[in-house]
Amino acid sequence: MTFDHTTTEPLLSIRNVARRFSIPQGLLKPPKVLNAVNGIDLDVAPGEIVGIVGESGCGKSTLGRIVTGLMPASEGTILLGGRDVSTIPRLELARLVQPIFQDPYSSLNPRRSIAGTVAEPLHIHGIGESSKRFEKAVEMLDRVGLPSRFANHFPSQLSGGQRQRVAIARALILNPQLIVCDEPTSALDVSVQSQILNLLMELRRDFKLTYLFISHNLAVVEHIADRVGVMYLGRIAEMAPAPDLFAAPRHPYSQALLNSVLTPEPGAGVPDIGLRGTFPDPLNPPAGCVFHPRCPREFGPCSSRVPALLPADSGQGSGQVACHLANPEFSSPTEPLHVA
């Protein structure tokens, strides 16, 4: 599915959002600052699925928590349907955006029945009588593929996939517009992952949902997302329609990330992704482009100037990339960018 971002009003609009954590360094030393999310711009059109990928610690989950309202942004604004999220009252925000978490074993209260869990948001919002809420919860459970006989079960009696269905039902019961899925399939068995993904796709169609889909699983994102953002150390390295990104990644980090996917071919071994060093210490990030110490194609300005997220290919494609190689200002020193 493609979305015309020039004409449609975005449902979610993230502008220069940053989140800093203060990390205590002991009694006498001043605390260090960790920039978990560092100046992110992102638009999500209504009905779109935007995937966010990146390795552990790149800030993708923090971004998800900020969008869900579970954590305030240190900087920047988040507009939901054109309104600043920080000014939307809690209850109203809950009806606009809901999260689905990674671990279905910790996302359900073990002391509450399945139907009780799904009905709880209705209870919080004072919607309907107790029996009516139960009815609605059972209906929603049925919609996500859990027959009514599960209604009085407790989470401990369900499998991981079934629990994730309960979590999805709970997220949908308030009829939100945006769902922030934080690794919704990565704690599940492979056989169950596709069922949950297909359920999410189905629900998007039926409930006209928009997803911000956070994952480290590239195959899952390729399958489900319309557009994908690649994050590295709190910044977006590249943002492109999913087919374009997976066919021709432009940022050296995206290229390495895609190369890191294991192939089922016997004897192929672990792929060489061509990166030097390891993930940098987020408390002490490199100057300039945060990726430059590991980048195989680092050149002049990389160690001193932070690359901006600019339209790739001089605006011909629909993607954006934050790399000096793609910036005509620094005419590419060795070769054109499309090599991967």
Partner 1 sequence: MATFSTIVRKVTAHRGLTLGLVLLAAIFAMAIFAPLIAPFDPYDQDLSRRLIPPFWSPKANPAHWLGTDNLGRDYLSRLIYGARISLLIGFAVMLISGLIGTLLGLIAGYFGGKTDLFITFLITTRLAIPVVLVALAVVAMIGGSLTVVILVLGLLKWDRIAVVMRAATQQVRSLDYVAAAEAAGASVPRIILREVLPNVFPQLVVVATVEAASAILLEAALSFLGLGVQPPLPSWGLMIAEAKTMMFFAFWMIAIPGTLLAILVFAINLVGDGLRDVIVPKGRG
- Residue placing its CB nearer to partner 1 in the complex, 137 or 242: 137
Instruction: Write b or e for each residue in 109-124: b if 16 or more Cβ atoms lie within 10 A of its Cβ, otherwise e.
Output: eeeebbbbbbbbbbee
Q: How far apart are CA 336 and CA 328, in angstroms?
A: 11
- Residue placing its CB nearer to partner 1 in the complex, 93 or 141: 93
Contact 67, 37 (CB under 8 A): no
- Residue placing its CB nearer to partner 1 in the complex, 93 or 302: 93
Q: How far apart are CA 164 and CA 88, in angstroms?
A: 28
To 10 degrees, the CA torsion angle through 107, 223, 64, 67? -110
Q: How far is the CB of 272 from partner 1 (least distance, A)?
A: 37
Q: How far apart are CA 168 and CA 39, in angstroms?
A: 30
Contact 108, 165 (CB under 8 A): no
- Residue placing its CB nearer to partner 1 in the complex, 5 or 112: 112
Q: How far is the CB of 192 from partner 1 (least distance, A)?
A: 15
Q: How far is the CB of 22 from partner 1 (least distance, A)?
A: 11
Q: How far is the CB of 24 from partner 1 (least distance, A)?
A: 11
Contacts of 80 (CB under 8 A, 6+ apart): 11, 12, 13, 88, 93, 96, 97, 178
- Residue placing its CB nearer to partner 1 in the complex, 110 or 300: 110
Q: How far apart are CA 49 and CA 100, in angstroms?
A: 14
- Residue placing its CB nearer to partner 1 in the complex, 105 or 330: 105
Q: How far apart are CA 331 and CA 297, in angstroms?
A: 14
DSSP states of 62-112: HHHHHHHTSS--SEEEEEETTEEGGGS-HHHHHTTEEEE-S-TTTSS-TTS
Q: If 0-12 CB within 10 Å is exposed, 13-18 middle and 19+ buried, where does residue 46 land?
A: middle
Q: How far is the CB of 21 from partner 1 (least distance, A)?
A: 13
- Residue placing its CB nearer to partner 1 in the complex, 74 or 303: 74
Q: How far is the CB of 154 from partner 1 (least distance, A)?
A: 6
- Residue placing its CB nearer to partner 1 in the complex, 93 or 237: 93
- Residue placing its CB nearer to partner 1 in the complex, 70 or 261: 70
Q: How far is the CB of 73 from partner 1 (least distance, A)?
A: 16
Interhelix angle 190-207/160-172, nearest 10 degrees: 20
Q: How far is the CB of 109 from partner 1 (least distance, A)?
A: 4
Q: How far is the CB of 250 from partner 1 (least distance, A)?
A: 35
| Encoded tokens for 15 | 């502008």
What is the residue type of 198? N
> Which residues face 13 on adjacent strands?
43, 79
Pairing of strands 32-44, 12-23: antiparallel
Q: Interface residues with partner 1 (CB under 8 A)?
A: 65, 68-70, 90-91, 93-94, 97-99, 101-103, 105-113, 120-121, 124-125, 154, 156, 167, 170, 174
